[in-house]
Amino acid sequence: MAKLFIICGHGAGDPGCCAGGCTEAERVRALGQRIKELGGSEVELGDTSRNWYADGGLNRLSTDAPVVELHMDASGIATAHGAHVIIKEGFEPDEYDNALADKLAAFMPGRSEKLVRRSDLANPNRAAARGINYRLCENGFIDNDGDREKFNGNLDELARIYLECFGITAGSAPAAVPQPQPAQQETTENFGGTYRCTVDYLRVRDAPGLGGTEVAHYSSGETVTLDNWYKIADGYVWGQYTGYSGATRYIAVGKATGKPEADDYLVKVG
């Protein structure tokens, strides 16, 4: 019987937080896969093609095993760092929660509280309502260079922390693909259209990413028609259009959260 059920956060089109060429969805899947490879039959890896938050999977999950949901934080200020464990407000941490909080905080120190109680998160609430033994682990900050490099360079060590906390003997399966994947680049039929600028000064660049040179700018209220193309780079979603000169131009639509947000720099109007 499985001693641990793993849910990998985000996915199914939601990249989660993005920084340094990494997406949270891909990284926590790499970690979940490694926990499964090293833990063998005592680990059950939930379907990684799904977004368990969006599809409400915990409302239907049937398992007697304790559940861990894997995530990475982002702060937007680059200096925040450290791992922590989230449990449902009103619950006392059990032996798994305490072990995870201690070991993850030792592996990635930096948070003042290594164990936090929350009442405003859907999946801890869903699990609590169904009596599922559950915790959500933030495996450091993806937009902190130190945390991200520690995560990427020590994936097996991190995976073994989870196995140890749940009393599972780690095997020695060779690492399949421990390297971070490059940021995704996609074409999507629903992306293109007319967008209105919501900020006073929005840079137009000659390449997607903060390294692109500024070649023009948009002001609040102006509109731009973007192609069916976007790229996630440096934590932002970049759209493209063809400028009057015929050159391809790139512009930040907003922070890469996996969905349109109220504070995006460009809001689709047509």
Min dist. Cβ of residue 9 to Zn ion (A): 4
List Cβ neighbours of 178 (8 Å cut-off, separation of 6 or more): 30, 34, 152, 155, 156
Q: Catalog residues that contact Zn ion under the rule CB under 5 A.
A: 9, 16, 71
In the block, tokens 């409400």 appear at 56
**Closer residue to Zn ion (CB): 38 or 72:** 72
**Closer residue to Zn ion (CB): 150 or 249:** 150
In the block, tokens 């073994």 appear at 160
Min dist. Cβ of residue 256 to Zn ion (A): 12
**Closer residue to Zn ion (CB): 206 or 261:** 261
**N- to C-terminal Cα distance for the chain?**
53
**Beta-strand runs (E) in the chain:** 4-8, 18-19, 22-23, 43-45, 67-73, 84-88, 115-118, 134-141, 185-186, 193-197, 202-205, 214-218, 223-226, 230-233, 236-242, 248-255, 266-268
Min dist. Cβ of residue 200 to Zn ion (A): 30
The burial of 49, by beta-carbon neighbours within 10 Å (0-12 exposed, 13-18 middle, 19 or more buried), is given as exposed
**Closer residue to Zn ion (CB): 37 or 69:** 69
How far apart are the C-alpha atoms of 222 and 112, rounded to whole Å? 44
Q: Which residues on neighbouring strands pair with residue 214, listed in sequence order?
A: 205
Cβ-proximal residue to Zn ion, closest one: 71
List Cβ neighbours of 159 (8 Å cut-off, separation of 6 or more): 31, 34, 35, 37, 38, 39, 170
Min dist. Cβ of residue 232 to Zn ion (A): 15
**Closer residue to Zn ion (CB): 71 or 81:** 71
**Closer residue to Zn ion (CB): 10 or 36:** 10
The amino acid occupying position 26 is E
Min dist. Cβ of residue 132 to Zn ion (A): 19
Min dist. Cβ of residue 19 to Zn ion (A): 12
Min dist. Cβ of residue 117 to Zn ion (A): 18
**Closer residue to Zn ion (CB): 16 or 46:** 16
How far apart are the C-alpha atoms of 16 and 143, rounded to whole Å? 12
